[in-house]
Amino acid sequence: MSNPAFQSLAFACAVGLMSGCHASIWGMYKDAPHEGFRHGAFARSILIGAMAGMVIQLLFRFPFPRPSSFVLLFGLSYAMERGVVEVWKTFIRSEDQSKYFIPMQFSIRGIPVASRVARLLAGAAYVAVVTAALVIARHLNDSAGLTHIARAALGGAAVGILLACGGAWKDAPKEGFDIVKFFRSPMMTVIYACLLSSFTADHLLIAAAAIGYERATAETYKTFFFPSRPRGKFNGRPILYPAIRETRVYFVPMYVTISLSVVAFAAAAV
């Protein structure tokens, strides 16, 4: 591998590490008071984020060190990391669900599906639907009669609706259907897709990166604007590790630094 290619891959690994670290911190911040600080769970997103960054860079060859490359790769790495982790937790992992208010395992009407084969088939179907949505987004590159930003908005709406449907499937049986919450994801992915359309003409990249930024923004809002409110999956469950509420704040400066870095790169790219 040539030196410039190696440098780009190293840069992509760093961007992926940042996205994974961002996801790890909000996950730990909300979950650790209930589950304790789990080193493996914390490191998992960081490592997957780093690998995602490198895989995506090998596929799309972003020109580093352009700020726009950082912005796109951060969102894409975030989306891939979230996708891998959530598919694993929902459809593959077998875990005692009694500790959760909202099951994290694939459920029907709030009741976890015990059959591993059924979960795997449901997971395959889910991945196929998401893949189809991204393929459609890619074909928006060739759509005539629509402006670039309109095509970006359509792609963002498509993936946002998928996120909303997945969230409603999981949460609504326990929390009830909240129409505002349902449309929050599509609204955010459309906004991010329109913003990201300034950085690339590829609507697949726009739609996928919009997923990452929607997840980062939604979880930041839920985690740090309402720090005393438990995540839905732990609603009504006891705080078993109260001391962590004091130590978890030490991770906040890193979280803020990563978030501000993304904003700074986006501003530089514009």
Spatial CA neighbour of 208 closest among 222, 192, 219 = 192
pLDDT above 80 (res 231): no
The pLDDT value recorded for residue 2 is: 59
- Which amino acid is residue 133, in one-letter code? A
Q: How far apart are CA 19 and CA 79, in angstroms?
A: 9
DSSP string, 203-269: HHHHHHHHHHHHHHHHHHHHHHSSTTSPPGGGTT---S-TTHHHHGGGGHHHHHHHHHHHHHHHHHH
pLDDT above 90 (res 69): yes
The alpha carbon of 189 is separated from its chain's Cα centroid by a whole number of angstroms, namely: 11
The pLDDT value recorded for residue 198 is: 93
Tokens describing residue 159: 């993936």
Q: What is the mean pLDDT of residues 77-87?
A: 96
Q: How far apart are CA 193 and CA 196, in angstroms?
A: 5
pLDDT above 90 (res 133): no
Q: What is the mean pLDDT of residues 196-208?
A: 93
**Beta carbons of 82 and 216 less than 8 angstroms apart:** no
**Cα-based distances in Å from 149 to 32, 85, 146, 190, 230:** 40, 30, 8, 10, 37
**Beta carbons of 16 and 72 less than 8 angstroms apart:** no
Q: How far apart are CA 85 and CA 48, in angstroms?
A: 8
The pLDDT value recorded for residue 137 is: 80
Q: What is the mean pLDDT of residues 209-234?
A: 89
Spatial CA neighbour of 211 closest among 181, 186, 176, 236 = 186
The pLDDT value recorded for residue 78 is: 98
Q: Which strand (E) or helix (H) includes residue 131?
A: helix 116-139
Tracing tokens 């599509």 back to the chain, one arrives at 186
Q: What is the mean pLDDT of residues 238-245?
A: 91
**Beta carbons of 207 and 153 less than 8 angstroms apart:** no
**Beta carbons of 46 and 72 less than 8 angstroms apart:** no
Confidence of residue 226 (pLDDT cuts 50, 70, 90): confident
The pLDDT value recorded for residue 3 is: 74
Q: How far apart are CA 161 and CA 114, in angstroms?
A: 27
pLDDT digits (tens, 9 = 90+) for 93-105: 988 888 888 889 9
The pLDDT value recorded for residue 96 is: 86
Q: What are phi and psi of 107, to 5 degrees?
A: -130, 160
Measured distance between the N- and C-terminal CA atoms of the chain, rounded to whole angstroms: 31
Q: What is the mean pLDDT of residues 157-186?
A: 90
pLDDT above 70 (res 89): yes
Confidence of residue 1 (pLDDT cuts 50, 70, 90): low
Tokens describing residue 154: 């359509």
Q: What is the mean pLDDT of residues 242-254?
A: 94
Percent of the chain residues topping a pLDDT of 90: 67
Q: What is the mean pLDDT of residues 112-131?
A: 93
**Cα-based distances in Å from 10 to 47, 50, 206, 269:** 14, 10, 23, 20
